Amino acid sequence: MLEKAKHLLQPSTRGAVPPFMVMDVVAAAARLEAQGRRIIHMEVGQPAAGAPASAIAAAQTALSSAVLGYTETLGIASLRRRIGRAYGEWHGLDLDPARIVVTTGSSAGFILAFLAAFEAGDRVALALPGYPPYRHILAALGCEAVPIETSAATRWSISSGALIASHRAGTLKGLVVASPANPTGTMMAPSALADLIRCAEDAGIIVVSDEIYHGLDYAFTAECAARISPNVVVVNSFSKYFCMAGWRIGWMVVPPPLVRAVERLQQNLAISVPTLSQIAAEAAFAGRSELETVRRGYEENRRILLNRLPRAGLDSFLPADGAFYLYADVSRFSPDSFAFAKRMLEEAGVATTPGVDFDPVRGRNFLRLCYAGAHEEMREAIERIGDWLKQGAF
Ligand SMILES: Cc1ncc(COP(=O)(O)O)c(C=O)c1O
C-alpha cells in the first residue's frame, strides 16, 4: 500500500518550475567559506544593512507588549495610510489608502496580482533579461509567460512597438514592467514608461509594475506607474530601499475594481501578513535619514565600480541607472558565464550570478554583480577580479 502511494507523489507539471541558479552559487560560496576561504559576496540581491533603528525599536516594543494576532487581511489600517501618504511625499500622488494592500513581500504581491487579473491560459509579456520568478510564478499559476527580448536599441526595456508586435503574434492579457530592473539596474525614462502603459491599455493589456527598487535610482528619478494610470497594478516592497528583506513585507497599489478580489485571495491564501513585520514597517518610515545614508553608500559603490572595473578588465555594462546591480558583458572572456562565474568564485573568491538565470540564451554572455556591500569590499573585489583576469586564463 505504502509502495503504491509513493507512485502518486510525482510533482505536478506546474510545480516543476526551474530553480533560481543564484542559490547554487550561494551554496558553492558557503562550501568555500567552510574551508576557510574569504569570499566577497556580490551574488545575492539584498541590502547588507539591516532594518532602520525605528523599525527594530517598534518590533521590540510590540514583542513585549502586543498579542500579535492576525490583522485585517488588507493590512493594519495605519500602515496602509502611511504607505498611501508616502506616495504623496515621493510622487506628489494623492492615493486612497483603500487601494493599498499589504503583502508578504512583493513575491506574494505577484501571486495576488496575477491571480486577480489573469485567467489560467492568459499570455503575459515580460522583458528578457528579467527577474526569473515573474516567468516561474506565471507558469505555476497556469498562465503563459511571453518573453520579449530587449536590446540596446530600446535601452533594454520593452518598447511600445515590441509590445504590439508580440500582441499581434498572440493576444496578450498582461504585461510586467520593472524600472529599475533586475538584473540590469536599467530604468525606463518616464516618457517611455508612459508610452508603454498607454499603448498596453489601448490594446486591452493589463500592466503590473514592479517598483521594488524605487528609492534606489541614481541616473534620474524613477517614475511611478500609478501616476500614469489608475489601472496599473503596482507591486512594491520593504525588502530593498527599507532594508527589510527578511521581514517579508511588501505592498500593492491595486486598481479599485480588483481590490475585493485581492482581498478575498489573501484571506484564503494567507489570512494576513505577519503582524510584527507590519508594525516594524510602519515605523521604518521614520528611519528616512538612516535609509538615505545606505542609499548614498550604494551610489558611491556604483561610482567606484563603474570607474575602476574597466581598468580591471570588465568594461561593458548595461545602463546602471538604479537598484544595486551591474549587468556585465563577459563574452570576450568566455562563451559560458556560468563556467566563468564558477571559476571567478573558486579562483578569485568573488561570488557573482551568471546571466542565464535572467535570460536563458543571451545570459550566457553576462554576469550580474550586486553592489549592496561595503565600499572596502567593492575595492577588494575589483582588485581580485583585475588580478585574476590578468592571469590571462581566458
Ligand atoms: C525585481 C524584483 N522583484 C521582486 C523581488 C522579490 O522581493 P520581495 O519578495 O523580497 O519583496 C525581487 C527580489 O530580489 C526583485 O529583484
pLDDT in tens, 140-156: 999 999 999 999 999 99
What pLDDT, on a 0 to 100 scale, did the predictor assign at position 283?
A: 98
Q: Is the pLDDT reported for residue 4 higher than 80?
A: no
Q: Is the pLDDT reported for residue 86 higher than 70?
A: yes
What pLDDT, on a 0 to 100 scale, did the predictor assign at position 1?
A: 59
Predicted confidence band of residue 207 (pLDDT cuts 50, 70, 90): very high
Contact status, residue 62 vs residue 266, Cβ threshold 8 Å = no
What pLDDT, on a 0 to 100 scale, did the predictor assign at position 5?
A: 74
Query: What b/e sequence results for 138-171 when a residue is b if at least 16 CB atoms lie within 10 Å of its CB, and e otherwise?
Result: bbbbebbbbbbebeeebbbbbbbebbbebbeeee
Does residue 8 or residue 112 have the better pLDDT? Answer: 112
pTM of the model: 0.95
Q: Which helix (H) or strand (E) holds 106?
A: helix 105-117
Out of 21-25, 53-57, 233-237, which region has the weakest mean confidence (pLDDT)?
Answer: 21-25
What pLDDT, on a 0 to 100 scale, did the predictor assign at position 3?
A: 75
Q: Is the pLDDT reported for residue 392 higher than 80?
A: no
Does residue 1 or residue 292 have the better pLDDT? Answer: 292
Q: Is residue 301 in contact with ligand 1, taking CB distance under 6 Å? A: no
**What distance in angstroms lies between residue 392's CA and the mean position of ligand 1's atoms?**
36
| Residues pairing with 148 in the sheet | 127
Query: What b/e sequence results for 347-359 when a residue is b if at least 16 CB atoms lie within 10 Å of its CB, and e otherwise?
Result: ebbbbbbbbbbbb
Ramachandran angles phi, psi of 175, nearest 5°: -145, 130
Atom of ligand 1 nearest to the CA of 110: 4
182, 244, 251: which to mutate for ligand 1, most atoms within 8 A of CB? Answer: 182
What pLDDT, on a 0 to 100 scale, did the predictor assign at position 57?
A: 98
Q: Is residue 255 in contact with ligand 1, taking CB distance under 6 Å? A: no
Nearest one of 253, 195, 206, 256 to 228, comparing CA atoms: 195
Contact status, residue 184 vs residue 325, Cβ threshold 8 Å = yes
Over pLDDT 90: what percentage of the chain?
91
215 in the Ramachandran plot: left (φ > 0), alpha (ψ -120 to 50) or beta?
Answer: left
- Contacts of 75 by beta carbon, 8 Å cutoff, 6+ apart: 100, 101, 102, 251, 272, 273, 278
How many angstroms from the chain centroid is the CA of residue 385?
A: 26
**What distance in angstroms lies between residue 332's CA and the mean position of ligand 1's atoms?**
30
Give the Cα separation of 326 and 193 in Å (integer): 21
CB atoms within 10 A of CB 302: 23
Contact status, residue 295 vs residue 242, Cβ threshold 8 Å = no
pLDDT tens digits along 335-379: 999 999 999 999 999 999 999 989 999 999 999 999 999 999 999
Q: What is the mean pLDDT of the chain?
A: 95
Q: Is residue 104 in contact with ligand 1, taking CB distance under 6 Å? A: no
Q: Is residue 110 in contact with ligand 1, taking CB distance under 6 Å? A: no
Residue 59 in grid coordinates: 518590533
Predicted confidence band of residue 194 (pLDDT cuts 50, 70, 90): very high
Terminal alpha carbon distance of the chain: 57
Predicted confidence band of residue 394 (pLDDT cuts 50, 70, 90): low
Residues belonging to the chain = 394
Give the Cα separation of 385 and 392 in Å (integer): 11
Q: Is residue 106 in contact with ligand 1, taking CB distance under 6 Å? A: yes
